[in-house]
Structure 1
Amino acid sequence: MKVALFIPCYVDAFFPAVGIATLELLERVGCEVVYPLEQTCCGQPMANAGCQDDALAAEALFARNFAPYEHIVTPSGSCCHHVREHLTAIEQTPAVRAVRRNTYELVEFLHDVLQVREFPWAEFPHKVGLHIGCSTLRGLNQASTSEIAGPAFNKPRALLSAVKGIEFVQPQRVDECCGFGGTFSVFEEPVSARMGQDKVRDHAAAGARYIVSPDMSCLMHQQGCAQRLGLGIRFMHIAQVLNGARE
């Protein structure tokens, strides 16, 4: 299967190892991966800030770059959610609608499309707290939520459960937002910081050695909070764990 890899701005700038792990993981499971070299931001920061008109050029470039591909995969739930649900500053041509429909977050692509259930090369002998960001949890419906009655499911955990040696620990407030929220962390810094501190303290109290997530933006925020609190927690994107990283 041919896959176009969409790497978000913050991953490209701050966490290139996550992009590399995503590429390697997709190739391990049998995908032919291409990387459109002209790709830039999908427009999410501007749209989330209410500046939809300012997102138009970024969205148009995104659509042009990825229009030729039937499967577009990104290691970011919030970017995927923006493309799929909010790429609306540009005209909704058939090509744009196809790009929106064909964009997948990495976990859902592995779990739902490829239906991968084994990662024989992966081993992670650590206590892990799993964090699923708000867009991924409620926007992409990757796990059941504690506030809604219904059958329990968790796609990131289902994939991680196939990794040898992993031990899950769970915070008391499993679905609580970590406070990042993109520009929210800038405009509401004290509230955002306190929410992040509460989140990492909750994971630490549960015994987490690592916090693993499909959302590197959330991990970036939590990592800063944990460092300032002097907590010895480490942070890793799910692509790195599934690709075989040990620490």
Structure 2
Amino acid sequence: MTSALPLAELQNVSGGPLYVKLKRMIEEAVSSGRLQHGEALPPERDIADAAAISRVTVRKAIDELVDQGLLVRRHGSGTFVVKPVPRMQQPLTRLTSFSEDMRRRGLLPGSRWLDRGLYHPTPEETMMLGLSGTAMVARITRLRTADDMAVALERTSLPDDILPEPDVVENSLYQVLSQRDIRPVRANQRISAVLLKDEETQLLGVPPGSAALRVQRIAYLSTGRVMEVSTALYRNDAYDLVAELTIGS
């Protein structure tokens, strides 16, 4: 680690307070590749001793890098370098699938399946999907990836006559439905900011207590029937939701 972070030289570096010098040293080590994604930093006590500075100074530098998303603290494990996350813009005026969005950006869409199957519906699913007393609900829960990086956690419920075999969905749900001549024509979306639960932060690879953008969607067929109810949690360090507004006459 000495070659990656020449901490003994920190006092001789010019320009700004000590915490700024340490911050720049870590940033430069990451940008040059001396510190790579997934590598752990030495403990704060060791950094302070090697650089002859206080632990308060070390903590301030690391706190700012954590806020910037360059480092992440993992409770009980230490502080690690984080792979830079490219920000993506998600338009709100066009109804598309996640797979279509990623391919349009030149990224490879993927899914890590957490659950898919037919279940007895909850009262909320029965009401929102307009299910009869004997109908089942198809549920699919997956971690959506772009170039193998987790960017969203998605939970979707559909009537069983629309998706009778959830196991056939591999990547694009809408592609599977299109093969059955089932296509949504409109959708209502509600967007809110939420704090992720511990399990959700682990799945998305973000620090505990991170915020996310929650997008709740209700999609409709041309007949007006509700086709799909879904909730997606998007990493707030990777997604910007964009809406184009026009001024009426």
State which structure, 1 or 2, has the greater radius of gyration over its C-alpha atoms. Answer: 2
**Normalised by the size of structure 1, how large is the TM-score?**
0.22
TM-score of the superposed pair, with normalisation by structure 2: 0.22
Structure with the bigger RCO (C-alpha within 8 Å, sep 6+) is 1
Higher strand share: 2
Structure having the higher helix fraction is 1
